[in-house]
């Protein structure tokens, strides 16, 4: 394939956004793609395989409820023919009201689709800089952008790129749990099937056990950072010990909240606190600790986490970790089609643009693919309506919503949407408002030209 061809798109990075972008360009728009992926020749701090779209943090795409902002985005992407959503649906494992996947099966299916597509050429080389003769480029290197490319991006943007740290939760072998202590139940028994209603394993703590756990967590040794790494963690993915340092009850109102759960080993009573484990793969032999991302040393993780009732003999498939996460000041740098203002033809996609979350990264990858295709084909680009989940996220990370304030990564949420007209809808409860936001979005997404 002539890599300098004016109609070829170079997609750098085969994560969620890059894989989605490559697929949309080739499959939906008939445009040739060179997909550049440095793994396995050069691995990152967090990846463990050479598969595309590898999920390095959680295996959950979060709520599948269409009346939540993220569940609405799931549905919008399905309607736009998303490869990532199709593979996620095929690879789904029970998770109550959430969409969680067998991560190996999921990334394997994405990889198969990409490598077998006749219009996608794979280059397993690190991209250190963007050559001048690449006319159309999508940089989708995500939070683990290599140092050399990050330097190149810094030179192109003329601004200091920003960074924070993202943390990974431990994964436990299911057969190492104490089943005389734990029980299986989704919060509030959510789910359409019995399997979904019992999708989570719950580890109960009494008040004394909880306080002892917090004491151990606060005194545990953690990974020390170099001076240049001393940046803030993303608020939506804080290490468990950082949350605990904000107040003794913080975890009881966060990832260890006991609401909606009743312990059958204690006459159906609600425990003082709960640690939930979510199925990691279809075999059901691996579970991850929900919300337990951490920067504790490995030895400390084993010691502290085995204090949790039910995990006394826990065997860990993977311990928690922490890694650098890089993003750019997108509203100040990018046009409304994600083009870098200082270098036309170069676009950014995915988490590096300042969206947070698997599904949000996927959505930006899909949009950028179509904006790029429109540019090549000489077609004016269309934007999804601001009242849709996809449209609201686009406006958050581009010049369309530039306010000059400090830009921070964001998950999709109804706070990004235009307000409902309460003179029409009236003041409703939170659940009713979610339904109205969702209904309005699904009515308007059909007018988006890239919807199937």
pLDDT per residue as tens digits for the range 219-231:
999 987 654 344 5
The CA–CA distances, whole Å, from 184 to 39, 194, 204, 265, 343 equal 38, 11, 11, 11, 53
CA 396, chain centre distance (Å):
17
User: Is cis: bond before 203, omega within 30 of 0?
Assistant: no
Looking at the predicted structure, is the pLDDT value of residue 204 above 90?
A: yes
Three-state DSSP class for residue 262: coil
Q: How far is CA 361 from CA 3, 271, 295, in A?
A: 26, 36, 24
CA distance 171 to 174: 9
Helix axes 389-397, 358-377, angle to 10 degrees: 80
Categorize the per-residue pLDDT at 394 as very low, low, confident or very high, splitting at 50, 70 and 90: very high
Counting every residue written for the chain, the total comes to 452
Q: Which residues pair with 11 in a beta bridge?
A: 35, 138
- pTM for the model stands at 0.79
Q: Residue 24 half-sphere exposure, CB side, CA atoms within 13 Å?
A: 31
Q: What is the pLDDT of residues 239-297, one digit of tens each?
A: 899 999 999 999 999 999 999 999 999 999 999 999 999 998 888 888 999 999 998 99
How far apart CA 366 and CA 368 sit, in angstroms, is 6
pLDDT digits (tens, 9 = 90+) for 10-57: 999 999 999 999 999 999 999 999 999 988 766 666 566 779 999 987
Report the alpha-carbon distance of residue 116 to residue 122 in Å, rounded: 10
Write down the pLDDT at residue 241: 93
Average pLDDT, integer, range 401-420? 74
């Amino acid at each position: 394939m002539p890599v300098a061809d004016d109609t070829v798109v170079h997609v750098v990075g085969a994560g969620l956004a890059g894989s989605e972008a490559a697929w949309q360009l080739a499959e939906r728009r008939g445009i040739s793609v060179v997909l550049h992926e440095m793994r396995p020749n050069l691995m990152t701090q967090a990846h463990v395989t050479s598969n595309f779209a590898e999920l390095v943090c959680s295996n959950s795409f979060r709520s599948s409820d269409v009346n939540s902002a993220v569940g609405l985005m799931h549905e919008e992407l399905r309607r736009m023919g998303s490869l990532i959503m199709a593979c996620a649906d095929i690879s789904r494992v029970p998770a109550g009201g959430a969409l969680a996947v067998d991560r190996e099966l999921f990334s394997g299916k994405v990889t198969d689709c990409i490598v077998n597509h006749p219009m996608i050429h794979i280059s397993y080389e690190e991209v250190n800089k963007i050559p001048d003769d690449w006319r159309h480029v999508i940089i989708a290197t995500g939070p683990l952008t290599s140092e050399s490319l990050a330097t190149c991006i810094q030179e192109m943007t003329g601004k200091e790129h920003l960074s924070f740290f993202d943390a990974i939760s431990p994964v436990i072998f299911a057969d190492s749990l104490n089943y005389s202590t734990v029980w299986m139940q989704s919060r509030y028994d959510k789910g359409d099937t019995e399997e979904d209603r019992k999708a989570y394993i719950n580890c109960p703590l009494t008040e004394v056990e909880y306080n002892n756990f917090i004491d151990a967590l606060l005194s545990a040794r953690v990974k020390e950072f170099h001076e240049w790494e001393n940046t803030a963690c993303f608020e939506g993915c804080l290490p468990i010990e950082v949350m605990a340092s904000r107040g003794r009850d913080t975890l009881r109102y966060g990832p260890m909240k006991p609401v909606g759960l009743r312990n059958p080993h204690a006459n159906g009573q609600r425990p003082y606190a709960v640690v939930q484990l979510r199925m990691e793969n279809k075999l059901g032999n691996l579970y991850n600790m929900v919300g337990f991302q951490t920067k504790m040393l490995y030895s400390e993780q084993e010691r502290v986490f085995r204090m949790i009732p039910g995990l006394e003999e826990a065997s860990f498939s993977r311990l928690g970790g922490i890694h650098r996460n890089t993003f750019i000041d997108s509203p100040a740098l990018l046009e409304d089609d994600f083009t870098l203002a200082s270098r036309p033809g170069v676009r950014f996609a995915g988490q590096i643009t300042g969206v947070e979350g698997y599904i949000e990264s996927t959505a930006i990858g899909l949009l950028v693919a179509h904006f790029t295709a429109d540019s090549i084909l000489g077609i004016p680009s269309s934007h999804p309506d601001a009242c849709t989940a996809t449209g609201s996220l686009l406006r958050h990370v581009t010049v369309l919503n530039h306010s000059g304030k400090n830009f921070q990564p964001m998950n999709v949420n109804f706070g990004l949407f235009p307000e409902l007209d309460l003179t029409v809808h009236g003041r409703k409860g939170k659940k009713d408002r979610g339904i109205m936001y969702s209904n309005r979005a699904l009515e308007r997404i059909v007018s988006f030209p890239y919807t199937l």
